[in-house]
Structure 1
Amino acid sequence: MFRLLRFKNLRFICNRNVSNKNSNVSDNQNLGNIASKYQVFRDEDSETILDVVEERQKYARQLEEIDIRDPFEGLNLKRGKTGVFEIEDLVNALKRENADSVFVATVSPQYNYVDYICVVNGRSHKHMIAIAQFIRRLFKQKRHTDDIIPKIEGESSNDWLAIDLGNIALHIFSKEARERYDLDSLWSVGPDYDKENQKKDPFTEILENHSFFLQDLQPADPQS
């Protein structure tokens, strides 16, 4: 440890006359002149400078005082049996990240796709990305060495992100895009009741509205 000594207006002026005439100047006068030109600092008032080892020890103590929360605390870090994630583990992780309106639907085995579709929406684009990145990080913690780390699809979009978790397809929408595409209805009640799927193509609708012009037409008689 070192002590830093500071001086105010550090100037040394030696104006002592060696002649016998001025040799009788009292010590008190000399001290008074010095005191008027310099500020006196006591050792206990000086700034403390730590050496390298002491600085490291101080920094380590500061880190110990900081409460660093484990981002995966309370979550199941073991790999699931049907996939890296069991659907319950994924839902818990999504709720941890404050994902809104978590929706889960089973997928029929005949599609040979995934076991579950999971749909959520984020509160902002930044929140959507944070959800996707957290699920991917958690996947890395849970996976076995032969499990392929999934990519985040749709990163160039502001409204939709998706991650193929193997046995679960996770879709992360903005609130507006989720209402527009309505995957919840498509996968829960089927295409026959999905309002988006039931929308007709404008060209087909035109043909149907004008089909009465063709009602009286009969196929040509090939023998005539």
Structure 2
Amino acid sequence: MNARIEKISQILDQNKAEAIEVFDLKGGDYFADYVVIASSLNERHTFALLDYLKKGLKPEEQFLGVDESGDWIAVDLGDILIHILTPQYRSKYDLETFLSEIAARKAKA
């Protein structure tokens, strides 16, 4: 796994994010090469994790876009997407199943 993904995962892990998963979609039919998903403890923790990422990744990483709500934050780094969700939203939207299917299609190609 590349150093950028490892740094993102490390920042999330050190700041109490849970169930961190990385999906390698490089070379597949998805618009990002990697997707990182992590669960926050609650809404305040979701925003705090975003702040930790901003402090830990800048100036090396350029944040192209950030879509913020208390339950779900999506960070666009271009080739990497980071999703931080409360457990309720993570369960409701089940991104893992969707991304696993994309990764499986990529592996078959």
Partner of 2:17: 99
Whole-angstrom CA distance in 2 between matches of 1:188 and 1:136 = 27
Indicate if the aligned counterparts of 1:132 and 1:152 stay in contact, CA closer than 8 A.
no
Partner of 1:113: 31
Whole-angstrom CA distance in 1 between matches of 2:63 and 2:86 = 24
Higher strand residue share: 2
Partner of 2:49: 131
Gaps of 5+ in 2: 103-109
Query: Are residues 1:168 and 2:80 paired?
Result: yes
What percent of counterpart residues are identical? 25
Partner of 2:62: 148
What is the RMSD of the two structures over their aligned residues, measured on CA atoms?
2.3
1:157-191 deviations in Å (ceiling 9; x for gaps): 2311011122210001110010010001111134x
Whole-angstrom CA distance in 2 between matches of 1:119 and 1:88 = 13
How many aligned positions are there? 103
Runs of 4 or more off by more than 4 Å in structure 1? none
Indicate if the aligned counterparts of 1:122 and 1:173 stay in contact, CA closer than 8 A.
yes
Higher helix residue share: 2
Whole-angstrom CA distance in 2 between matches of 1:114 and 1:136 = 19
Whole-angstrom CA distance in 1 between matches of 2:35 and 2:62 = 19
Whole-angstrom CA distance in 2 between matches of 1:150 and 1:132 = 14
Q: Tell which has more relative contact order, 1 or 2 (C-alpha 8 A, sep 6+).
A: 2
Indicate if the aligned counterparts of 1:128 and 1:174 stay in contact, CA closer than 8 A.
yes
Letter in 1 for 2:33: D
Task: Give the alignment's TM-score, normalised by structure 2.
Answer: 0.81
Q: How far does residue 111 in structure 1 lie from its aligned partner after superposition? A: 2.7
> Which of structures 1 and 2 has the bigger CA Rg?
1
1:176-195 → structure 2 map (5 Å cutoff): 176-190=88-102
Indicate if the aligned counterparts of 1:136 and 1:150 stay in contact, CA closer than 8 A.
no
1:1-224 → structure 2 map (5 Å cutoff): 86-111=4-29, 113-141=31-59, 143=60, 148-154=62-68, 157-190=69-102
Aligned partner of residue 171 in structure 1, secondary structure: strand
